[in-house]
């Protein structure tokens, strides 16, 4: 059985306390690895290593830090197949998705910020002929990055790449549920010779490792992606210490389909936005609103496409839907299907445990599920399920569907399907959402700000916003 290790001060280490957590494979429900059950002592060791490394790393020219990020990217690329297989086994997602999406985008994160840091500039303002003002941006020091289990390496690299690029040293907590690609990343960093302490990875549970990071007086900022409940706890603990916070949290995103849409494109993309990664993406659109003249046709076609999705062994070619990440999450998702029935919902397709024979017979598979007949305000349509469960509802007017789309505590993303350009601009501007896609979904430009409003979070990641987050501005005013 493989043992994942922490990466602290350039060394691969077990937890100081010697305890381990079992890590099962979602597709089989069998334990195949163990993860360090780290605690505050391990976080302290990582912070000390990062603090020792910080002066030299901060003084390293941006062009040289850029080269280090490229070395890491190249190291991942040279082992892409191993990373993809590890991600698939760890998460339960299809190997085809890990190979073509998760790992390539992780590589791109390092490469993008390697470029960005060499192009980053600050501001200068001349105050008439009286003074010259300019802004310096200095790295914060030791920063904390906490990433989730659904896109493990992709979202971990999304945080640590800009932090390292700007001269910070990082203490990161990968999800204990999906630790394997973070462990492989540590091995790549050792192989390329990244200076010890620049990046530190501490595995373990949130109440132990995450809490210790949030409380630590020498961690200047926390970048977190995960549940709203955990984000609120981090904010509660970190705010009195005046840490900088970026919190990207949950979503219950609307997908609004007007009758004048491109039917084929809207249908194909709605299928993807409902069930990609088994619905375990904060950007999925599980609330599908279809304008009434199109509703019956769209529903019938979507049910047919959903039934055609192949649930199977994540490592086999042709699998569309893999396993859910854990027994706990499996139980939660099926619990919401039961709740939907209690709330008056009808299961159009799916709604049960999926049977996958062979080695995956005991795995945590759920049939892609489409529900109908639910009120927009019911719990099923208000609470984040984070699984392959979507509901479809008809609407009549733009104002009606706008009210329904905005009537949740979340505000992360939304999709709008219409060929009316005026409506597209008008409707998108009125949505309470940090991200709005029109006639597309998950089309990401890494230069644009990413994040939500309301209970979906505070702060923005991506592009210049990420680089600015990991720096402290200082204004210099010189009298002329």
The residue to which tokens 């619905």 are assigned: 279
DSSP class per residue in 432-476: --SEEEES-SS---TTS-B--EETTEES-BSHHHHHHHTEEEEEE
Instruction: Give, as one character, the DSSP assignment of residue 207.
Output: I
Q: Which of 111, 248, 372, 384 is catalytic?
A: 248
The torsion of the CA quartet 57, 59, 63, 64, rounded to 10 degrees, works out to -40
Q: Please give the distance of CA 368 from its chain centroid, rounded to a whole number.
A: 21
Of the candidates 435, 426, 375, 393, which has an alpha carbon nearest to the alpha carbon of residue 253?
A: 435
Rounded Cα–Cα distance for residues 384 and 405 (Å):
14
Contacts of 240 (CB under 8 A, 6+ apart): none
Rounded Cα–Cα distance for residues 286 and 390 (Å):
4
DSSP class per residue in 193-206: TPPTTSEEE--S-I
Alpha carbon distances (Å) from 4 to 21, 155, 244, 471, 476 = 10, 19, 30, 32, 47
Asked if residue 363 lies in contact with residue 356, where contact means CB atoms within 8 angstroms, the answer is yes
Structure tokens, 329 = 């999450």
Pairing state between β 30-36 and 435-438: unpaired
Alpha carbon distances (Å) from 44 to 11, 39, 131, 214, 355 = 15, 9, 45, 12, 45
Rounded Cα–Cα distance for residues 277 and 135 (Å):
42
Pairing state between β 346-349 and 369-372: antiparallel
φ, ψ at 295 (rounded to 5°): -60, -55
Of the candidates 178, 205, 208, 183, which has an alpha carbon nearest to the alpha carbon of residue 4?
A: 183
> Is 372 designated active site?
no
Q: Which residues are catalytic?
A: 248
């Amino acid at each position: 059985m493989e043992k994942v290790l922490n990466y602290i001060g350039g060394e691969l280490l077990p937890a100081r306390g010697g305890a381990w957590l079992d890590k099962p494979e979602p597709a089989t429900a069998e334990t195949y690895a163990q993860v360090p059950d780290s605690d505050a002592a391990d976080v302290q060791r990582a912070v000390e290593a990062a603090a020792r490394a910080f002066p030299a790393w901060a003084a390293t020219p941006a062009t040289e830090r850029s080269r280090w990020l490229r070395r890491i990217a190249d190291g991942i690329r040279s082992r892409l197949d191993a990373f993809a297989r590890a991600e698939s086994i760890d998460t339960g997602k299809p190997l085809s998705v890990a190979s073509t999406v998760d790992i390539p985008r992780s590589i791109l994160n390092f490469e993008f910020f390697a470029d960005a840091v060499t192009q980053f500039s600050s501001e200068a303002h001349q105050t008439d002929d009286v003074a010259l003002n300019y802004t310096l941006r200095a790295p914060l020091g030791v920063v904390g990055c906490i990433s989730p289990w659904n896109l493990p390496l992709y979202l971990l690299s999304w945080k640590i790449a800009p932090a390292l690029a700007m001269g910070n040293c990082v203490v990161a907590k990968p999800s204990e549920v999906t630790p394997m690609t973070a462990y492989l990343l540590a091995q790549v960093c050792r192989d390329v010779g990244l200076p010890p302490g620049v990046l530190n990875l501490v595995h373990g549970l949130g109440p132990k490792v995450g809490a210790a990071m949030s409380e630590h007086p020498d961690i200047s900022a926390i970048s977190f992606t995960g549940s709203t409940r955990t984000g609120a706890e981090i904010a509660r603990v970190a705010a009195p210490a005046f840490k900088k916070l970026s919190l990207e949290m949950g979503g219950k995103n609307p997908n609004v389909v007007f009758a004048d849409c491109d039917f084929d494109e809207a249908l194909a993309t709605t299928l993807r936005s409902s069930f990609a990664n088994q619905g375990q993406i904060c950007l999925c659109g599980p609330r599908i609103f279809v304008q009434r003249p199109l509703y019956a046709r769209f529903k019938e076609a979507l049910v047919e496409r959903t039934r055609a999705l192949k649930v199977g062994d994540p490592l086999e070619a042709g699998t569309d839907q893999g396993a859910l990440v854990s027994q706990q999450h499996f139980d939660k998702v099926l619990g919401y299907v039961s709740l939907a029935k209690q709330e008056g919902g009808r299961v159009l397709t799916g709604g049960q445990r999926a049977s996958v024979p062979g080695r995956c017979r005991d795995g945590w598979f759920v049939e892609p599920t489409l529900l109908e007949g639910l009120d927009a305000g019911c719990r099923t349509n208000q609470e984040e399920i984070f699984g392959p469960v979507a509901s479809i509802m008809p609407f009549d007017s733009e104002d009606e569907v706008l009210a329904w789309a905005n009537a949740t505590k979340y505000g992360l993303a939304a999709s709008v399907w219409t060929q009316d350009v005026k409506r597209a601009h008008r409707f998108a501007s009125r949505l309470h959402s940090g991200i709005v896609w029109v006639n597309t979904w998950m089309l990401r430009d890494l230069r644009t700000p990413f994040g939500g409003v309301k209970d979906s979070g505070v702060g923005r990641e991506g592009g210049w916003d990420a680089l600015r987050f990991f720096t402290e501005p200082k204004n210099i005013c010189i009298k002329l």
